[in-house]
Structure 1
Amino acid sequence: MHRLVDRARDDGAVRADVTGADVILLMCAPSYVTSYLPDAAPDPWQRYLAIIVDGLRPEGAHPLPHPPPAAP
């Protein structure tokens, strides 16, 4: 994941301040969070993943408030 994000960042496809560790955590979040929703649609993670992916794009990016987590 780290190499993939590095390549995407080098190609300008993701924000310059996003790391592989950020993406790993973001990939897990939709599934985890939606598991607590009563009567959730069968695949709500797809909606939230789309929102997250759009947020990774460099267009209109604002500085992030905290440093990224350390890579494992």
Structure 2
Amino acid sequence: MTALVRRAQDARALRDDVSGMDVILMMCAPHYVTTYVPEAAPDLWRRYLGIILDGLRPEGARPLSAG
């Protein structure tokens, strides 16, 4: 994942302050969230994935907290 993140950052398609671990955890988040939402639409995960992916783009990015 680290190599993939570095390639995306080198191509200016991913924020410079995102790590491989960030991406791994964000890949798990949409499934986790929708698993615990009663009566969630089957494709609700797509909404959260879209929000996450938009936040990874470098355009208009604000600094991230150390978290």
TM-score, length of structure 1 as denominator length: 0.88
Unaligned 5+ runs, structure 2: none
Query: What is aligned with 1:27?
Result: 27
- Give the AA of the match of 1:20: G
2:66 paired with 1:61: no
Q: Which amino acid aligns with 2:39?
A: D
1:16 alignment partner in structure 2: 16
4+ residue runs of structure 1 moved beyond 6 angstroms? none
Q: Distance in 1 between matches of 2:29 and 2:54?
A: 15
Please report how far the alpha carbon of residue 66 of structure 1 lies from its aligned counterpart in structure 2 after TM superposition.
Answer: 1.1
In the alignment, structure 1 segments of 5+ residues that lack a partner are 68-72
Bigger helix share? 2
Q: TM-score, normalised by structure 2?
A: 0.94
What is the root-mean-square deviation in Å for CA atoms of aligned residues? 0.9
